[in-house]
Structure 1
Amino acid sequence: MKRLLAPTMVLLILVTGCGPKLTPEEEILQADNQYLHELLQQWYWWRDDVDLAIEPSEFTSPEALLDQVRYEELDRWSYVGNWAEFNALFSGGNYAGYGFGAKWDADGNLWIRSVYDDSPFGEAGVERGWKMLAVDGTDVQSITDFGVAFGPNEEGVSNTFLLEDLEGETHEMTLAKTTVNINAVLHRSVIEQNETKIGYLVFNTFVATANQELDEAFAYISSEGATELVLDLRYNGGGSVLVAEYLANYLAPSSAQGQVFSLQQHVSDRSENDVTYTINKQGGLELSRITILTTNSSASASDLIINGLRPFLDVVLIGTEATPGKPVGSYGWQRDPYVYSLIAFRMINADGEADYFNGFEPNQTAGDGLAFAWGDPEETMLAAALQYYG
């Protein structure tokens, strides 16, 4: 036995010493994958439902690793992205672009659905309800890839647009991309109907910078004497839970003061990170009911608002179809150049309701009136909401 042992040890030393040396890029990749693997083991909401007994070094990228272990049945949201873009959008509320959103209708028309104030489109006077006809001389119906047509999202990149306004007049304008500062409140107004004043608020994103805009919007709505509210979340894809709580404080009645808006619950050995968000009533609006406009783009924190308010208000949904349904939330872990955004908790309302993965169905269906400006009482979804107020 002793005679065999020494040669075996020599062989092991030789094999180990002659192994391939990792390049600096391979070392970084292994470290990136290892970090993601540890996050999944420690934080991932569905960690007990997936196979994490893997070797991180075997994957060609963090994206490939996440795709392998993702809980496919429910997880539609965890991703690996670019940290700088993630941080700019969710913390600073800005990005490089033209500052508009567009949407096709069933007849093949491309409508401007929303415009940010501090953007090339906003400063050029473009509004919701305008129609985009052509880009750089090419009819929009002939464009197969708008990402290519618009060019990279970098400051200075320009295009020439042919647009039709609400009165049917056409406008040709050449605009250059800049850093767009997102305004979360796209519109606020008060509509008087049958001696009832109804506030109308279009809230587009729960970005971290939104609180001041909400303060100003609700101060205006209250100063105009509104006693009812239509909250338009039709394009709101979510964002900060803290901003959702802030908005809920304006919407909930005084009787909900101190009650649970939502419990943020983590995996068992991370329960010290659980957070209970309670109602701290703000503003003078005392609602017993609220009408919320939704589409399949009203996700995440928009779902949270609906679920969190239901124990305290009659919540009426008017929309095109069910919301996406996202009763879970994520954190963004930074490891340059990546952000690892993983589902790490679920949100539970005061009645213990948390599993709305199929979304919330509208109480009344209504189409998206793309040809109308914000606040027009004839716009399809807003008109349907106003019917609830006599």
Structure 2
Amino acid sequence: MFRLHFFRIFAMMLFFAASFLSSCSKTETPRVLPKPVRENTKEARLKELVYTNTYDMYLWQDQLPTSFPTEDYRRAEDVLEALTEYSRDPVTHVKLDRFSFLDRSGTVEREISEGRKGSFGFDVRYQNETDLYVKMVYPGSPAAEAGMERGFQVLAINGNSELANSLHEPNDYQFLFDALDAESIELRLKKPDNTELSVTLQRKEFQIQPVFFSDIYTVGNKNVGYFVLESFVSTKDDLGRDTELMNKLNEIFNLFQANQVEEVIVDLRYNGGGAVITAEDLSNFLAPTSVSENALMYSYGINETLRKEDEERDENDRFFSPVHFNKTNTLNPTKVYFLITEGTASASELLINNLKPYTDVKLIGEGVTYGKPVGFYAVSIMNNDLYAVSFKTINADGETDYYEGMPVDKDVTEDLRWNWGDVNDPLLREALHYAESGSFTSEMILRRSQTDAATDKAGLNRKLDLRGNKDMYYFSLK
């Protein structure tokens, strides 16, 4: 009020001064006063709704203030970011919420729930400090249609052949990210046979097909199934019907079952998560037949407000009831190997955690998984989707809060020169070695078989791997 009152007085003084000057000189143009700047009322309302809705569903509700000065922040995203500061661990003071966000475009639901994506359909990773490679290509994408595959070396992007990590890491890979997010991109590539390929790609929307590869390997006297899953696109549509992904998974596991597969390798090395229902369906596919129908798969941790609201619903309509196994196939894997990197996140980690109490689980790959034991559902406010962390998952042994990631049983650096399913791929080779021998390779043997092992890539690809969606969504709550 004081500032507004002062402004009015100041405006009147200017008016009288202008009148006085005009009376002295009739030829001068009268001064036009600027209009007072007012806050965008739509954004102000959105900021307030972000706070009130976050408070209602936030996992760390008991640490949030009961009122919050949303007017002190420019945008709704700034309000949400400020609220995440209250997720700090009371003992370590480490901020636990790295995940909450506001989706103004509806991208998340299109990608995860509906299985649609707009992009070039490929992503990159460094093989060493100088060599950039294509790490994955979506089937049916512009990149796939142009003939690109995992294992192609990137020689130039938009005419720029200076791609060494040392040039781009200090600037947070801005050149790479800008190029990958643009409407078009020009690439010069080298194939594994040393021939070159030049392509120009246009960004477009395509149907996500997250199963990149599947096969069955015979090692010793047993069959081992293998499949690559890039993301947890939903296995059910809005009407509860099986999606294309569910049909593909049924096909794969029926083939595993028909060939009496005894162990399964699940390649999640770039899988940033997605729909909770997909993690549940995969848990049922991969669980041993000894798991009873009533066995606990996982339970939820939620705040007091959500708990009371859930308890008031009919038992069959509760959203956060414990989830139990419902295995319908007869596949009985005695061991499940997960191939991971630090980009393996959220719903991928939920799948791993679900199975750990019931079967022999081995993690093979680079260091640790991403570390996201929490998830959320969308709250639509003013045509925007708010995703504030609202639940955590807890397995049958009570294991949760793996914010620092799940450590591997065997640390193996991947080699981007090998395409999916090639037995020379270090991660796949290590899993097949264990399946045949019952043990991992020694470090000495492993290093001799890896030409680039001398390059320490710990942290080299962290920002590239963490690019994109790393989340766990409960879409039925929207």
Alignment TM-score, normalising by the size of structure 2:
0.73
Correspondence 1:93 to 2:129 = no
Larger-gyration structure (1/2): 2
Task: Indicate if the aligned counterparts of 2:214 and 2:252 stay in contact, CA closer than 8 A.
Answer: yes
Matching residue within 278, 299, 308 for 1:263? 299
Deviates further, 252-261 or 173-182: 173-182
Matching residue within 139, 152, 156 for 2:161? 139
Name 2:289's counterpart in structure 1. Answer: 254
Matching residue within 108, 121, 124 for 2:130? 108
Name 1:4's counterpart in structure 2. Answer: none
Matching residue within 138, 160, 165 for 2:191? 165
Alpha-carbon distance between aligned partners in 2 of 1:346 and 1:171, rounded to the nearest angstrom: 46
Name 1:125's counterpart in structure 2. Answer: 147
Name 1:212's counterpart in structure 2. Answer: 247
Deviates further, 186-195 or 78-87: 78-87
Alpha-carbon distance between aligned partners in 2 of 1:116 and 1:140, rounded to the nearest angstrom: 26
Alpha-carbon distance between aligned partners in 2 of 1:111 and 1:282, rounded to the nearest angstrom: 40
Q: Note the residue ranges of structure 2 that are not aligned, 5 or more in a row.
A: 9-34, 89-94, 169-173, 236-244, 311-318, 437-478
Correspondence 1:178 to 2:204 = yes
Name 2:381's counterpart in structure 1. Answer: 335
For residue 33 of structure 1, give the secondary structure of its aligned residue in structure 2. helix
Letter paired with 1:244:
A
Alpha-carbon distance between aligned partners in 1 of 2:259 and 2:267, rounded to the nearest angstrom: 19
Correspondence 1:307 to 2:337 = no
TM-fit CA distance, 1:193: 1.4
Matching residue within 37, 52, 61 for 1:47? 61
TM-fit CA distance, 1:284: 2.9
Deviates further, 161-170 or 113-122: 161-170
TM-fit CA distance, 1:25: 6.5
TM-fit CA distance, 1:150: 4.5
Alpha-carbon distance between aligned partners in 2 of 1:269 and 1:147, rounded to the nearest angstrom: 40
Name 2:15's counterpart in structure 1. Answer: none
Task: Indicate if the aligned counterparts of 2:119 and 2:181 stay in contact, CA closer than 8 A.
Answer: no
TM-fit CA distance, 1:32: 0.5
Correspondence 1:242 to 2:277 = yes
For residue 122 of structure 1, give the secondary structure of its aligned residue in structure 2. helix
Alpha-carbon distance between aligned partners in 1 of 2:397 and 2:210, rounded to the nearest angstrom: 29
Residue identity (%): 29
Larger fraction in strand:
1
Aligned ranges for residues 191-230 of structure 1 at < 5 Å? 191-209=217-235, 210-230=245-265
Q: Which runs of 4+ in 1 moved over 6 A?
A: 21-25
TM-aligned CA distance change 1:23 to 1:216, over 3 Å: farther
TM-fit CA distance, 1:22: 10
Letter paired with 2:265:
V
Task: Indicate if the aligned counterparts of 2:151 and 2:418 stay in contact, CA closer than 8 A.
Answer: yes
TM-fit CA distance, 1:45: 0.4
Letter paired with 1:55:
P
TM-aligned CA distance change 1:334 to 1:22, over 3 Å: farther
CA RMSD in angstroms comes to 2.4
TM-fit CA distance, 1:40: 1.9
For residue 265 of structure 2, give the secondary structure of its aligned residue in structure 1. strand
Correspondence 1:149 to 2:185 = no
Name 1:56's counterpart in structure 2. Answer: 70
Q: Note the residue ranges of structure 1 that are not aligned, 5 or more in a row.
A: 1-10
Letter paired with 2:412:
A
Can you list the C-alpha shifts for 1:322-359, whole angstroms capped at 9, x where unaligned?
Answer: 11221111112222453211100110111122222221
TM-fit CA distance, 1:268: 1.9
Alpha-carbon distance between aligned partners in 2 of 1:327 and 1:311, rounded to the nearest angstrom: 16
Name 2:215's counterpart in structure 1. Answer: 189
Aligned pairs, how many? 371
Deviates further, 287-296 or 56-65: 56-65
Deviates further, 255-264 or 333-342: 333-342
For residue 262 of structure 1, give the secondary structure of its aligned residue in structure 2. strand
TM-fit CA distance, 1:133: 1.0
